[in-house]
Amino acid sequence: MHLIEPHEPRLLAIDDSELIHRLLKARLKHEHIEIHSACSGLQGLEIARTLMPDVILLDIDMPGIDGFEVLRRLRAEPALHDIPVIFISSQSNTMDKVRGLDLGAHDFVTKPFDLTELKARVRSALRVRQLIRMLAQRAQLDGLTGLWNHAYFTQRLEEEIANSQRHETSLSLIMCDLDRFKNINDEFGHPFGDHVLEMFSQLLADGRVGDIPCRYGGEEFTLILPQTTIEEAGQVADRLREKVKSLVWEGHPELTLTASFGVTDLYRAGAPTIEAVVAAADQALYAAKQDGRDRVRLAEPKGPPMKLTA
């Protein structure tokens, strides 16, 4: 699994002055910041939605919609709500500062810029942005296993279904759980049961780059496999099944654990929805359990053939 992907911080400057854009690029060129420009409030909003910048420098006085209205709209959109905004203005007006801060501005800089001050304020905003992203990500992680949690799974599966539909690519889902896990807790205790979950999670996390392992709940886990056919996903599941059986447990060398796996893709789910995909994988997992556990079962087709590429 992959956590926050490192990238050069992105700064979006929204100002109707071309001179300001040239000055910013000249004065921040050694800061290892990717600088983007917008010359109006509406253009800035459009760029912000696609760029997802890490900090925004926003002029107050612009034709069309002013900086206050731009900030209001930024704060109204969930995806843009937490991006730090630094107001820039040629006026050192206390009421403007108060109004901007009340709307959710992070900071305020007066033109002409003092280079040292500008850099310090931008760095401060970037630290805030990084902290917000880390906190948001932590809320999406399962506390015991370190895998993505159920909430993230639902969000990410929805995104991957949309991508698969848009680009006509394959998408598969594996649901799996440890066989007779309750017996493990009963016989060896919950601390050892937690250790088993952690080890199983590590197997999932050490898989292919691009696969997305999540803890669905209890001893049940999921693996989202973008651009992967159901046959390929079945092979991934079978390799995981073999690895689980081969684990050696310190203090319990006689113990052999197994896991069962249900696999589906969009075609076999019958509909490109979270509910349909999860239900198809869950039914396949149930079939694996009914057939004796320690096995992989593929979902039965439920829809017309789909034109997809791996």
Residues serving a catalytic function are 219
Of 213, 186, 203, the residue nearest 244 (C-alpha):
203
DSSP state, residue 148: B
| Contact of 289 with 250, CB cutoff 8 Å | no
Q: What is the C-alpha to C-alpha distance for residues 194 and 196, in angstroms, rounded to an integer?
A: 5
Contacts of residue 217, Cβ cutoff 8 Å, sequence gap at least 6 = 150
| Contact of 49 with 79, CB cutoff 8 Å | yes
Laid out side by side, the sheet with 107-110 consists of 34-38, 10-14, 55-59, 85-89, 107-110
Distances in Å between the Cα of 114 and the Cα atoms of 24, 124, 213 are 11, 15, 47
- In DSSP terms, 176 is beta-bridged to 221, 261
Q: How is residue 264 written in tokens? A: 């589906």
Distances in Å between the Cα of 151 and the Cα atoms of 147, 155, 175 are 12, 6, 16
Helix, strand, or coil (residue 105): coil
Of 244, 225, 114, 99, the residue nearest 163 (C-alpha):
225
- DSSP string of 218-245, one letter each residue: TTEEEEEEET--HHHHHHHHHHHHHHHH
